[in-house]
Amino acid sequence: MPVRDVYVIGAGMTPFSGKLHAGKTGRELLVEATLEAVKSVDKGIDLKRDVEAVFVGYFTPELYEHQSHIGPLAASWLGLTPKPAFRTEIACASSSAALFAGITAIASGVCDLVLVGGVEKMTNLDTFGVTEALAMASDDLSESRVGATFPGLYALLAQAYFRRYGATWEQLQKVPIKNHYNGSLNPKAHFQQTIAQLAEKVGAKEGVKYRDELDFLKNSPFNRVVAYPLRLFDCCPISDGAAVAFLASSEVAKKFTDTPLRLLGVGMGSDSVALQDRVELTSLRATRSAAEMAYKMAGIEPKDVDVAEVHDCFTIAEWLAVEDLGLIGKGEAPKAYAEGLTNIDGEIPVNTDGGLKAKGHPVGATGVGMLNEIWHQLRGTAGKRQVKKKAEVGLIHNVGGSGASAAVFIFGR
Answer whether residue 169 is part of any domain: no
Q: How many domains does the chain have?
A: 1
- Is-catalytic flag, 376? no
Q: Which backbone phi and psi does 185 adopt, to 5 degrees?
A: -95, 0
Dist CA 196 CA 214 (whole Å):
9
Tens of each residue's pLDDT in the chain, 413 residues: 468 999 999 999 999 999 999 999 999 999 999 999 999 999 999 999 999 999 999 999 999 999 999 999 999 999 999 999 999 999 999 999 999 999 999 999 999 999 999 999 999 999 999 999 999 999 999 999 999 999 999 999 999 999 999 999 999 999 999 999 999 999 999 999 999 999 999 999 999 999 999 999 999 999 999 999 999 999 999 999 999 999 999 999 999 999 999 999 999 999 999 999 999 999 999 999 999 999 999 999 999 999 999 999 999 999 999 999 999 999 999 999 999 999 999 999 999 999 999 999 999 999 999 999 999 999 999 999 999 999 999 999 999 999 999 999 999 99
Catalytic annotation, pick one of 21, 361, 376, 397? 361
Catalytic annotation, pick one of 92, 111, 236, 313? 92
Answer whether residue 61 is part of any domain: yes
Answer whether residue 392 is part of any domain: no
Answer whether residue 79 is part of any domain: yes
Of 319, 413, 401, 402, the closest CA to residue 92 belongs to 401
Dist CA 361 CA 354 (whole Å):
11
Of 362, 264, 366, the closest CA to residue 311 belongs to 366
Answer whether residue 53 is part of any domain: yes
Dist CA 8 CA 115 (whole Å):
10
DSSP letter for each residue of 295-323: HHHHT--GGG--EEE---SBHHHHHHHHH
CB atoms within 10 A of CB 4: 15
Answer whether residue 38 is part of any domain: yes
- Is-catalytic flag, 180? no
Tell me which DSSP letter residue 365 carries: G
Give the range of the structural domain holding residue 247, as residue numbers without chain letter: 6-126+238-253
Answer whether residue 52 is part of any domain: yes
Answer whether residue 63 is part of any domain: yes
Q: How far is C-alpha 197 from the geometric centre of its chain's CA atoms? A: 25
Dist CA 272 CA 279 (whole Å):
9
Dist CA 291 CA 129 (whole Å):
33
Q: Which backbone phi and psi does 117 adopt, to 5 degrees?
A: -165, -175
Q: How far is CA 40 from CA 79, 161, 208, 246, 355, in A?
A: 19, 41, 46, 10, 22
Dist CA 155 CA 229 (whole Å):
6
What pLDDT, on the 0 to 100 scale, is given for residue 2? 61
- List the CATH number of the domain containing 120: 3.40.47.10
What pLDDT, on the 0 to 100 scale, is given for residue 194? 99
Of 276, 283, 327, the closest CA to residue 304 belongs to 327
